[in-house]
């Protein structure tokens, strides 16, 4: 079959993983699970030449050095002059690929434990995308999470389902009802499109955005493996997510179910859960002594950390910052003074 073109989006800074993730060294470029950084692991998953073409990375100037330091051979990099959310970023990549290229859009800062399951889903999604479906990966939900959007399936199609609707982050009661009812998936932000079909759908539902991005590409400049969209044209583009701009409007939305050990590593609790633990559910990285602790994760970049008697707590020592949070409080990390004022 045709190669799949990975399109890796390298945008956010992961402020809920402060103080390890910082503006100067954000989440995708850190080895948060295992030895490889999340960005490297994202490239690794798409490195099999039998299935995948060389990747296209869409990023900002502030992350360019990290991307090029950790990137893979043959990688193209599109350097956004500013962030405009995912729909324009994907449109940039679509313009830089042949119209019949199958794009697999992946965030650069998620963890996926089961690569074969990921590849199988990518193949199924690619087949649907070749028929001009706008395809979303549907992550099998493991718990009534309130931090994710949900996708409700409609009737089956080969390799997946039509999408009945997208659901914004629900409250706990609704999330529980979704799991009880079945047919709901987490929206993990992974998509497959035929490049030309994506641009056609964008032009249909967001003609101004589509036109601005097209102009930014037309006036842009290639520089070796880098491509710089025109700053003025791209700056005039309306920012929006691919969910709002395309997925919720298209008549051809499809979902491919996948169970691949996925985590968005959205906060310290999610990271703790993604890591291997000892018998007490503890995880320690660095010079750490734990006494009477359970489900405690500690990581330190130098100072010795001694912990007595805690449960369900995350401790992070990074430079001149010490973070201590309950796992239940992990969602609030991004609003701490240290995370906001960096």
Nearer to its own copies, 20 or 127 (CB): 20
- Residue indicated by tokens 């003609």: 207
Query: Of all helices (H) and strands (E), which one includes residue 138?
Result: strand 134-139
Residue number, 98 or 309, with CB nearest to its own copies? 309
CA distance 266 to 16: 7
Stretch that binds its own copies, among 2-10, 65-73, 117-125, 323-331 (CB under 8 A): 323-331
Binding status of residue 209 toward its own copies by CB under 8 A? no
Q: Could you say whether residue 338 binds its own copies (CB under 8 A)?
A: yes
Kindly report the backbone phi and psi dihedral angles of residue 160, in degrees, each rounded to the nearest multiple of 5, phi listed first. -175, -145
Q: Rounded to the nearest whole angstrom, what is the least distance from the CB of residue 175 to its own copies in the complex?
A: 21
Distance of CA 68 to the CA centre of its chain: 19
Length of the chain in terms of residues written? 342
Of the candidate spans 60-68, 124-132, 150-158, 332-340, the one that interacts with its own copies by CB under 8 A turns out to be: 332-340
List the one residue from 87, 102, 139, 323 that touches its own copies (CB under 8 A). 323
Return the residue of 47, 167, 203, 336 that touches its own copies, per CB under 8 A: 336
How far is Cα 153 from Cα 165, in angstroms, rounded to an integer? 7
Restricting to residues 131-160, which ones interact with its own copies according to CB under 8 A? none
Q: Give the Cα separation of 288 and 285 in Å (integer).
A: 7
Identify which of residues 100 and 292 has a Cβ nearer to its own copies in the complex.
292
Q: How far is CA 269 from the centre of its chain?
A: 17
Part of the chain binding its own copies (CB under 8 A), chosen from 168-176, 230-238, 258-266, 325-333: 325-333
Maximal CA-CA distance, the chain? 62
User: x-or-dash pattern for its own copies, window 236-275, by CB under 8 A?
Assistant: ----------------------------------------
Q: E-strand spans in 150-293?
A: 150-157, 160-167, 184-194, 221-223, 226-228, 253-258, 262-263, 283-285, 288-291
Determine the interface stretch with its own copies among 50-58, 87-95, 172-180, 328-336 (rule: CB under 8 A): 328-336
Strand 111-112, strand 262-263: pairing: antiparallel
Q: Is 326 in the site for its own copies (CB under 8 A)?
A: yes
Of residues 117 and 324, the one with the C-beta less far from its own copies: 324
| 103 neighbors 195 (Cβ within 8 angstroms) | yes
Query: How many of the chain's residues bind its own copies (CB under 8 A)?
Result: 33
Q: For its own copies, give the closer residue by CB, 35 or 320.
A: 320
23 near its own copies (CB under 8 A): no
- The sign of the torsion formed by the CA atoms of 219, 224, 227, 232 equals negative
Identify the CA nearest to 153 among candidates 132, 141, 138.
Answer: 138
321 binds its own copies (CB under 8 A): yes
| Residues 271-310: x where in contact with its own copies by CB under 8 A, - otherwise, as a string | ------------------x-xx-------x-xxxxxxxxx
CB of 286 to its own copies, least distance (A): 10
Using an 8 Å Cβ cutoff, are 7 and 58 in contact? yes
Residues near its own copies (CB under 8 A) are: 19, 289, 291-292, 300, 302-310, 313, 315, 317, 319-326, 328-330, 332-333, 336-338
């Amino acid at each position: 079959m045709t190669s799949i073109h990975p399109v890796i989006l390298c945008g956010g800074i992961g402020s809920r993983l402060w103080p390890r993730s910082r503006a100067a060294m954000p989440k995708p470029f850190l080895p948060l699970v295992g030895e490889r950084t999340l960005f490297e692991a994202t490239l690794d998953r798409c490195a099999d030449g039998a299935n995948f073409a060389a990747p296209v990375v869409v990023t900002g100037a502030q992350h360019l050095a990290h991307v090029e330091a950790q990137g893979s051979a043959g990688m193209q990099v599109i350097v956004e002059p500013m962030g405009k959310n995912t729909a324009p970023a994907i449109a940039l990549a679509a313009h830089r690929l042949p119209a019949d290229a199958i794009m697999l859009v992946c965030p650069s800062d998620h963890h996926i434990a089961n690569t074969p399951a990921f590849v199988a889903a990518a193949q199924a999604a690619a087949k649907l995308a070749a028929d001009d479906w706008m395809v979303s990966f549907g992550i099998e939900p493991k718990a009534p999470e309130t931090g994710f959007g949900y996708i409700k399936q409609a009737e089956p199609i080969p390799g997946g389902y039509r999408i009945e609707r997208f659901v914004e982050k629900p409250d706990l009661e609704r999330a529980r009802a979704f799991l009880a009812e079945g047919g709901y998936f987490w929206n993990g932000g992974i998509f497959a499109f035929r490049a030309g079909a994506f641009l056609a759908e964008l032009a249909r539902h967001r003609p101004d955005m589509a036109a601005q991005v097209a102009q930014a590409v037309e006036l842009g400049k290639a520089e070796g493996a880098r491509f710089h969209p025109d700053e003025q044209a791209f700056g005039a583009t309306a920012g929006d997510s691919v969910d709002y701009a395309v997925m919720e409007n298209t008549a051809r939305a499809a979902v491919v179910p996948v169970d691949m050990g996925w985590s968005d590593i959205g906060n310290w609790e999610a990271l703790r859960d993604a890591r291997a633990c000892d018998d007490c559910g503890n995880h320690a990285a660095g010079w750490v002594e734990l006494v009477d602790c359970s489900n405690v994760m500690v990581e330190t970049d130098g100072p010795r950390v001694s912990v007595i008697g805690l449960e369900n707590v995350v401790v992070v020592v990074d430079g001149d910052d010490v973070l201590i949070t309950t796992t239940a409080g992990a969602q609030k990390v991004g609003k701490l003074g240290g995370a906001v004022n960096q």
